[in-house]
Amino acid sequence: MYKIKNFLNKRNSFLVVMTLTIFLVCIVNASYAFFTATAERKGALNIVSGNLYSLISSGDLNDNKQITINGNSTKTIDVKLTNANGIDAKFNFYYITNASDVEIGYTKAGDDCPSSEGIVLPKNGDKGDSKSYVIQIKNNSASDATITFGSKAGLSNLALEFPGDGHVISPVVCNNTSEETIKGLPYNSCEDVDYNNESANKNAMFIVRHKGEEKDVIDYRYIGDNPNNYVQIDGESSKWRIIGVFDDPVADGETSGKKIKLIRDEILPDNYSWDNTTETNYGSNNWNSATLQKILNSGPYWNKENGTCASGTTLGATKSCDFSTTGLSSTLKEMIANMKWYLGAGPWLENRSTEAFYTLERGSTKAGASGSTTTWDGKVALMYPSDYGYTYANGVSTACYNTLANGSGNKCNQTEAAKGWLANTSKHQWTLAPYSADANYVFYVSTNGYVNNNNNAWLEYEVRPVVYLKSDISITGGSGTQDSPYIIS
């Protein structure tokens, strides 16, 4: 009997120990599971989705992620969403506003835009994936509207929860019907609108977006063969034409902001060398010391006077030049901004595209001549090759836009070039871009239509001065036609 009782006591003790062990294991596992789920959920909720910020240099979104839109107006902003977590996660934007008549949506519909359920951004190494979006805000009311933007993050298999007064942004297809302006100039409100589409306003500027590592750069440019971009300025013998509106870098002391960029409609009365100094045998491609730069910024053209100008295919040659009528007027000189012009250089590249020229101009490669730099501070210069090339954007001429530089077959020929308003099939035009593999060559627009570089700086070509107007100057009248040019003030 004792043995049986002893056995039962041991058996019961064993069962108790086993029960306690199983119970503890369950508690530990449950606690671990709860901890893991909590940690995972907490990690998802705390994902750093990146501050929602404007890629417009004026900083339209403040520190509180807010923007105020004037009554009866439309604005387009860039926002970037980043998954900075170590796992795949779901994200979405929302907005809050008390305004009753505001339309907010992505300017392009497609898989890249978050749906109402959000978008999953995958893990990408130590850093998560990023997406950039263009959001259009249209205030249809007469009163100003303030909009607050936010973003939510969560696990990829869970629904996102938004504030009670938050609205999810929906994709919209831009129909290009809104009448939008910048600096008093109309522009097509849709990006990538086809020039040949019925909705395209051929006499308005077109939006050109340049992708950047930290932010995109947005330009507004006139394209096509003859847009309404004429300007008349008091005291000027020639009309000027608007290349577009840009937020390019300024020299020290100049106010930053969007600026109207002009090019003289008529060529100067005579042709001039880009440079014919004695530094090299055929002229130097260093704009800092170029003879043409001095004519335009401190010589007879700037001073609107008779004088002597360095020019010609003999080193150091000069000729008389009369700018007493065609030189810069005092009115225009007061309007010109002091800018930081790009002098990025490159080698010859057959069939180089407009976009490739744009990158070259803003690059870190210097011209071949000694003393060259990648930027120059000044007021009067020349058009970039890309200024010429972008007149063929958005379907105006695919041949010239994609193969701007001379190449096999001369795809950008006179017929195609005539579709752009900066073309001149009777005279070569100097550009500002120098050649990197030689100290003498400069890129120019050929009468054949394409951009070339196989001629020396001392040759005499057509000159059309280019300037930026100060940021506080806008269009106040006129319609931009030759008979009714824009009025600037």
137 with 246, same domain: the answer is no
Residue 109 included in any domain: yes
* Unique residue bearing structure tokens 């520190």: 63
> Which pLDDT value is given to residue 280?
67
Residue 338 DSSP class: -
285 with 164, same domain: the answer is no
365 with 270, same domain: the answer is yes
pTM above 0.85, yes or no: no
Q: How far apart are CA 244 and CA 421, in angstroms?
A: 13
Among the residue ranges 19-33, 160-174, 269-283, the one predicted with the least confidence is 19-33
Structure tokens at 40: 């995972």
Residue 22 included in any domain: no
153 with 287, same domain: the answer is no
74 with 164, same domain: the answer is yes
Residue 18 included in any domain: no
Residue 33 included in any domain: no
Residue 391 included in any domain: yes
Residue 224 pLDDT more than 50? yes
248 with 166, same domain: the answer is no
Domain stops at, among 117, 151, 173? 173
164 with 294, same domain: the answer is no
344 with 428, same domain: the answer is yes
- Which element (helix H / strand E) includes 23? helix 2-45
Query: What's the CATH code of the domain at 154?
Result: 2.60.40
Side chain identity at residue 367, one-letter code? A
pLDDT digits (tens, 9 = 90+) for 179-191: 689 999 999 987 7
Residue 59 included in any domain: no
Residue 367 included in any domain: yes
Beta bridge partners of 231: 240, 486
372 with 294, same domain: the answer is yes
Domain stops at, among 173, 188, 221? 173
Residue 486 included in any domain: no
Report the pLDDT averaged over residues 475-487.
95
Q: Using alpha carbons only, how large is the chain's radius of gyration in Å?
A: 31
Q: Decide if 190 contacts 176 (C-beta within 8 A).
A: yes
Q: How far apart are CA 397 and CA 402, in angstroms?
A: 8
pLDDT digits (tens, 9 = 90+) for 383-417: 999 999 999 999 999 999 999 997 767 789 999 99
User: How many folded domains does the chain comprise?
Assistant: 2
263 with 407, same domain: the answer is yes
Domain stops at, among 151, 173, 195? 173
Residue 109 pLDDT more than 60? no
**Structural domain range at position 431:** 240-468
